[in-house]
Amino acid sequence: MKSSTGPLQGMRVIELAHIMAGPVCGLMLADMGADVIKVEKPTGDDSRRFVPPEINGESAAYMMMNRNKRGIALNLKDPAAVEVLHRLLMEADVVIENYRTGAMERLGLGYEELAKLNPRLIYCEISGFGRTGPYAERGGFDLIAQGMSGLMSITGEGPGRPPVKVAAPISDINAGILAAMGISAAYANMLKTGLGQKIDTSLFEAAIVQTYWQSAIAFATGDKPEPLGSAHPLNAPYQSFQTSDGWINVGAANQSNWLRFLEVIAAPELNDDPLFSSNLERIRNLPELVAVLDGYMSRDTTANWLAKMEKAKLPAGPVNDILQMHADPQARAREMVVEVDHPKAGKIETIGHPVKFSRTPASINHAAPLLGQHSRDVLGEAGYDSDQIETLINAQAVIAT
């Protein structure tokens, strides 16, 4: 296993999380150098069963979310396995958990109990709605969070159309990123003070923070923003247009870009039209603006328009599908598609780490673990001798590959 070069080298993380939000958090920390030990139930993280697709019998979804981690599988219905987990937590810097409210307390592993024994511990809880408030006991899912946050009311083709979910599980992913941000901040504080703390975030809050622009509009006007398709609520034109052979996004959001855009499409007279002469008027008359611009944009191909707009230094880009994004030279240059070796699936591609560090680069060194792949190693590091390890495995308190 390659050694990490990331800025969080030396951080030990116990990940008691499944499917997405918690594993995203662990993935971010692992990429940045933390030793993340994923604790799974005997049947494994539920995402192991998110098939198809699979590669040589391994879930593609599971492998995407759990690269760079080590894995141990514990049967927490067995007191011996709870004791193993307790010992791991005593030596950890961070624990990530997304169990239902009260589950960790019932195991004797709640924050209050652990903080007395390991005051440096950073205890991160990720839930559907947070651990306080009237919804604290509810389970949470990305779809529910997107709906309750208002996101689905502003996503879609336009007013009066059915609500649309953001296709990516944005509240799950964002909750994991927010949790990793909070852990990094708490870790910096712990290194200064010697004291850990509890961190609490949720899918609901992770979705709410995606509404900054629309909430600003609502706070200022008292009106509820409506869906605008690919358009922007504050700037125009800033959206997708259909070309003769595909789609292109154009960011002509300020007046100088608007004038450059008119030069590119050879329509300078549009700036003299009172309906389009300022951003305020373009926003007020967006349907009319789009109808006019569609006529111009349909006259040429996406590639030709992109070449003209790049020459004019006008922000623009193609609407890629996922395969096109994977092949994009900028995505490749920024190492956002990387290859790892998996013990069963072989060489697989995965998404790279999005933050670049000049002195301590993040790295993706190994693929997601098989179920219980590192159980023996982790138990040995926790002080169990070989006989004790085999006793735990034979009793099925611990699952090992």
CB-based contacts of 77, cutoff 8 Å, min separation 6: none
220, 201 Cβ separation under 8 angstroms: no
Instruction: DSSP for 56-107, please give it.
Output: TTEEHHHHHHSTT-EEEEE-TTSHHHHHHHHHHHHT-SEEEE-PPTTHHHHT
Torsion of CA 357, 334, 350, 247, to 10 degrees: 140
Cα(129)–Cα(180) distance, integer angstroms: 17
Q: What 3-state DSSP class applies to 156?
A: coil
Cα(152)–Cα(173) distance, integer angstroms: 16
> What single-letter DSSP state applies at residue 10?
T
Instruction: DSSP for 337-398, please give it.
Output: EEEEEETTTEEEEEE--S---SSS-----S-PPPTTTTHHHHHHHTT--HHHHHHHHHTTSE
Q: What 3-state DSSP class applies to 327?
A: helix
Q: Note if 172 is an active site residue.
A: yes
364, 68 Cβ separation under 8 angstroms: yes
Q: Which of 172, 223, 273, 387 is catalytic?
A: 172
Segments in 194-253 forming alpha helices (H) = 203-208, 212-221
CB-based contacts of 93, cutoff 8 Å, min separation 6: 11, 12, 13, 120, 121, 122, 187, 190, 196
Cα(290)–Cα(86) distance, integer angstroms: 60
How many Cβ atoms from other residues are within 10 Å of residue 255's Cβ?
A: 13
Helices 21-31 and 170-193 pack at an angle, to 10 degrees, of 50
Cα(30)–Cα(33) distance, integer angstroms: 5
Residues identified as active-site? 172
